[in-house]
Structure 1
Amino acid sequence: MTTRLTIGEKVKQLRKAKGLTQTDLAGEQMTKSMLSQIENGRALPSMSSLQFLAGRLGVDAGYFMQGEHEAELAPLVRKIEQQYKAKQYKEIVTAVQPLMKDNLPMTVDAARLMEFYVGSCYYTAAAGGKEGIERAAEIYERFGLYVERAKVQYLAYALMFAESKYQDSLELIRRVRTEYVSNKVGNDFLFEIDLHYAECVTLSALGDYSGCREVALAALQLSRGEGVYYLTDHLYRILSQVAMLHHDLEQAADYLNKAAQFAEFTEAADSLELVHLSRIRLALALQKYEDVLALVKQYPQDSSFMPIVYLMNGIALYHLMRHEEALESLNKVTMLDQLYHPLDRVSLLTTYSYKAKIYMQQGMREEALQQSRFAYHEAKDFPPSEYLDLIQQTYHELHG
């Protein structure tokens, strides 16, 4: 079993084997006093400290936690990690699910395996994510890695969000932040930005757009202050959408331009695609319908966001009085099972309202009433937005 003492012993033995003093090993990132406490079993290093020590000593961080079963699990974890980076989420779920029936070793590698599994469950809507979080949290707590436990508990926010438990999700994020702050050794700025990002997304899901904006700006301030620029393009896109919801289209354009700059700098394909999607949304808000059609033609047709693109294309055609073409585009819209944010989901429901408008103009009253009624009842529990307003207004206009 790995204990406080064995971790420290391994650090000390490897340091001496390499002929290093405590001052040599501590360098500028760690104090000699902290290193001494670790080696003598009086303190446990955080995962970031372990990774720092591992790098200085030329070993993998898992070496310090290695138990008798660790070596057997390590190759699988490396394989799963590569699959996760390649977004092969279904393959990960298929590979790990059978292992959930076994008694996995209480090792850090097992906890890391659970983290990849939880993320894959989220992206594939597979069951099992909650159990994975519980197992990983138990392992980290056993080793006294409380910051890592906070991080893995944070993963539950996404699972709650996917189940539309937005208030529970928000409470979890804030609880995790409290635990992280009270237990952290040093600063993990990327995780702190992750927490800010999760909070602002959840606030927007609850309809608290002002709170969302405040948290997003705080995350950007932290990012600038530390010079990390992590999630910067995503945060600016959120700010752009919030500005659009407040009908401040000039501010929305400014934020979107900043998002585009950071997306282009990182050359991340996903970020560039999301910026393109936001440009279509902004052009629609600006009532530049021909620009919408042009931007749609440039959008990658194999994208998972095509239902949203078809919707915006259909809305532009509707306003250009090209109703048959609009219907053709709107009929391609499908509700995405893995589209979890209520603003995205309610926006897709406006498809039925626009079809209702067209059907009514074409004299197809029953079809129009059916479409508007469906949208109205499906959207009634969503937070306030221009999309919900459109659905409700269309319903009352057609039903009197």
Structure 2
Amino acid sequence: METLGTKMRALRKQRGLTQLQLASGISTPSMISQIESDRATPSPQLLEQLANRLGVELNYFETEFIEKSDELQCYRSAKEHMEAGNYREAIDLFQSLSWPLAPQFRPDSIYLDVATCYFRLGEYERAANMYESLVELGCNRSEVSVVVSGYYHGALAHRKLGHDDVAIAYLERAREIIRTHVEHYSSMSIKVGLSLARLYLQSSHFKQAKEIYLELLELSQTYSSRVDFATIYHGLACSSTYLGEYDDALVYCERAVEEHQSLQNIGNAMRCRINRSLILRMANRYDEAYTYLQELGAHVNPHDSLLRTAIHHELAQLCLQFERLHEGIEHTEIALTSKRLDRRAEVALRTLRIKIFLQLQDLVNAHAELDRLEGCCKDDATALPTDYVRLKCEVLHQIGADAELIKFCQAQAEQTISADENQEQEIAPFTFWIFPRQ
């Protein structure tokens, strides 16, 4: 089908005119080029002037012009709704565009916009399907950047759906494609790497995470910003910590603090400082960690309940090591009053309280905390801590609930037998603030 642009190009060549000659006095050669390649639509006034210069009636272009104008207006309206946060209206308008699309529209751009709208509406399954379509489109057209974008954004959608294994597979594929097309090394390679490393951290694959962070450190020298340096150093500190490389972890942690401070990211700098105390504790430098954390507490914004929760949780961990058990309970009680307490944080604190109450031989409170722990994970058993089974068995044994203990052990044995060994999933370290934000 002839478009407005092809009609105009054919007429211009028939008249023996160059783009400069056609544009003279009424437009620019660049605009004529865009109109002829269907990358721009002329205004009604300009179209009439061009028709006169080409020696044809306006209605020669009019039908095509009206169709294109309607499509363009629909697209612009969709983008406006999208920018205003009216995602449902934007989706309806995008989907009302005629297919196959007019030449001035890029299918990958439409796919990405529709997927983004679904993502922001929280309809992650639909968003994931659109991103898969984007990958397929990019493969069919051999457009590497489109394929990588589809894999990256698709991974984010699958993370929201809890499909971390799929997200990792998508990001690994994107990383592989970028490596084999070095001309596409850009900020996208940093985004892909940061997301993948974070997923590896959360699934306890610390060696893989550290390898990626080290690779990103080299890449970011060329392609990234100081914000990425801070995140990378933070990630290196975390992965080194859980690999037992504590001296390296402390160095990386200090670099992360410096980078965040230079950017005035006070909250993130404080997160890294709290992590420093965790590194010291894991390195069995308990006195140093306790003193450092006590001093740090005086500098935390009193309105930042998340950081205060983290500090009190870490102090309680140290109190358990020092056998300052009553002080440890006090710290957990303060932390549990936080207004920003999510389930992961509550699970960590409840578990710690069970351990401390068992040390105190306070079996009534230990059993009560066990009930609270199970209550906050009743809709998702995977949220229970790795040592949940051991702690429950110990509590039931200590209180003499032998019948309940036997029943629980039998249920656990049945679950173990029926579990698919191939689907075994490692669980992230039992802390709730250490990982870098993306």
* Partner secondary structure for residue 186 of structure 1: helix
Alpha-carbon contact 2:91-2:114 (below 8 Å) kept: no
Within 5 Å, give how 1:288-299 maps onto structure 2: 288-299=289-300
Alpha-carbon contact 2:227-2:260 (below 8 Å) kept: no
Q: CA deviation at 1:212?
A: 0.9
Which sits farther off after the overlay, 164-173 or 364-373? Answer: 364-373
List, as ranges, runs of 4+ consecutive aligned residues in structure 1 with deviation greater than 6 Å: 138-144
Distance 2:92 2:220 in 1: 41
Alpha-carbon contact 1:236-1:258 (below 8 Å) kept: yes
Report the aligned-residue RMSD.
Answer: 4.6
For the pair 1:336 / 2:342, whether they are aligned, the reply is yes
Distance 1:213 1:219 in 2: 10
Distance 1:70 1:289 in 2: 64
TM-score, length basis structure 1:
0.63
Alpha-carbon contact 1:253-1:282 (below 8 Å) kept: yes
* Cα distance change of structure 1 residues 364 and 227 upon mapping to structure 2, 3 Å threshold: closer
- 1:120 matched to which residue of 2? 120
Distance 1:221 1:2 in 2: 50
Pick one of 225, 237, 242 that aligns with 1:240: 237
Distance 1:2 1:189 in 2: 38
- 2:228 matched to which residue of 1? 231
Distance 1:328 1:133 in 2: 45
Give the counterpart letter for 1:283 in structure 2.
Answer: S
Pick one of 342, 354, 365 that aligns with 2:363: 365
Q: CA deviation at 1:209?
A: 0.7
Alpha-carbon contact 2:115-2:128 (below 8 Å) kept: no
- 1:171 matched to which residue of 2? 169
Alpha-carbon contact 1:111-1:140 (below 8 Å) kept: no
Distance 2:139 2:70 in 1: 19
Alpha-carbon contact 2:91-2:117 (below 8 Å) kept: no
Q: CA deviation at 1:145?
A: 4.8
Alpha-carbon contact 1:121-1:127 (below 8 Å) kept: no
Question: What is the percent sequence identity of the aligned residues?
Answer: 12
Q: Describe the superposition over 1:45-104 as per-residue Cα deviations: whole angstroms up to 9, x where unpaired.
A: xxxxxxxxxxxxxxxxxxxxx9853444436636755x7xxxxxxxx3xx1034435524
Which sits farther off after the overlay, 137-146 or 203-212? Answer: 137-146
- 2:353 matched to which residue of 1? 355
Q: CA deviation at 1:136?
A: 5.5
Alpha-carbon contact 2:115-2:130 (below 8 Å) kept: yes
Alpha-carbon contact 1:118-1:128 (below 8 Å) kept: yes
- 1:274 matched to which residue of 2? 268
* Cα distance change of structure 1 residues 67 and 359 upon mapping to structure 2, 3 Å threshold: farther
Alpha-carbon contact 2:354-2:369 (below 8 Å) kept: yes
Give the counterpart letter for 1:96 in structure 2.
Answer: Y
- 1:62 matched to which residue of 2? none
Q: CA deviation at 1:252?
A: 1.5
Pick one of 202, 205, 212 that aligns with 1:205: 202
* Cα distance change of structure 1 residues 375 and 392 upon mapping to structure 2, 3 Å threshold: farther
Structure 2, unmatched stretches of 5+, are 10-17, 38-67, 281-285, 398-438
Q: CA deviation at 1:172?
A: 1.2
Q: CA deviation at 1:148?
A: 2.3
Bigger Rg over Cα: 2
Distance 1:181 1:96 in 2: 35
* Partner secondary structure for residue 184 of structure 2: coil
- 1:313 matched to which residue of 2? 312
Alpha-carbon contact 2:200-2:209 (below 8 Å) kept: yes
Distance 1:152 1:67 in 2: 30
* Partner secondary structure for residue 164 of structure 1: coil
